Structure 1
């Protein structure tokens, strides 16, 4: 696939006397050629809202499915494109960061939604951060986006101020909706991240503090969120994964029980025997004789 990057500049879209541009668009499926994909980045901020149509948003190499009501906050220099299943109708709300400087310090939220506007970037980990800014919105947000478009077209002496106020309201509504969605998604994202680490590194002790640091949360929060999502502790999951691999090695290889114990993360052979018998009701040797695929 040949990829071309196009830089979109604020001067081509934003009026000198209006701080926010609200543009309606109709993107045809045929515009997005899989053989020669165009990636877009910009020197301004953008919020887009999907009125109709379905497809996939590709942002910095990650893929997110969307449909009507999908809302996304895009940073300058993010690389974006679409993979469309159908034509889409959307609104693009474009602005420079300085437009919100006057009220940004007053905007508060518990998930650091507004840290996306910090000079150093969001405070949270990128592992879970995208969930904050990709939202399936509600009718109030759709109505607000439509009102912003009407105000943009009205373009009278108070339109600039009204657009700023509407933008502030939109961001507040986004963070409130995001907080509700995020509390549900966050646990699942955390659990998926931990489970992947366990599957990839089951032979090693799980480093709780390192994982918590990478996710930008506390050790306690990590363990609590995982248990709520999976119904068991991280340690219980790790034990299951290790046993699963021990079963496979006993059935499919001629490795010794000592080797299998070590390869599966059990450093104490006697503990492995006790745990194996408790789990299966038999010893590793008897299990192998009964289920071995090498016979």
Structure 2
């Protein structure tokens, strides 16, 4: 009964906001967004004290020993794919003024113009491992499960994301690869030149020089990994984690003197198709283009 009243209250809130919005004539006036699905979703995943108590009960029921053991293995696998081991290429990062974290943060910019550049296995290994790789583990005696931690915060350590990369110019063959964090390998899932397909389905050009990029990273999410514990509010946690991972990739690219640019517009299900994602339980959430900044490489050539 309370849930019904809560839903009615949400509807009243939305109607009240819409009424107020109709009186707002500003550029950012809420009248332009009163029926936004994003705002409706946000209203419906807000917590009050009752829903917080209900959430706690749901989380406690999730803490079953066997459920916990299963949730500690959030990995998508491609068992028949060819694998490229990244572990030998995880060299220690050099330390210098240029690699100071504060300098990297201050320098971070979106890079949109690229020179042809073959990205190395060392660079790919660093981008994958330090953005979403396993950084430590802890054995839980109660559930008899080993928790494996990544380089991002994750609600309940459930890690709902998967990382794919299309290699355009690299020492490896062109095609789609899936990063397997538990094995630290790239799984080669589709050997094909997808550049024209990506140019048709990513809103990039003429603003981003997609054709001359080195690679394109794709972040997908498995909803059930988080929703099973946190319900609809878990979608917020998924998007937060997408942001953490995206920032990691962006900062790592800056560290490696590569340009990166996040793309927010693409034909979702066409991208899902080449990633072997079903589009319902797993779907693309973000796209990051990586390449050698044109001016950086030109300067290096000149200096030689």
**TM-score normalized with structure 2 length:** 0.21
- Of Structure 1 and Structure 2, which has the larger fraction of its residues in helix? 1
Larger Rg: 1
**TM-score normalized with structure 1 length:** 0.22
Q: Which has the higher contact order (CA 8 A, sep 6+)?
A: 2
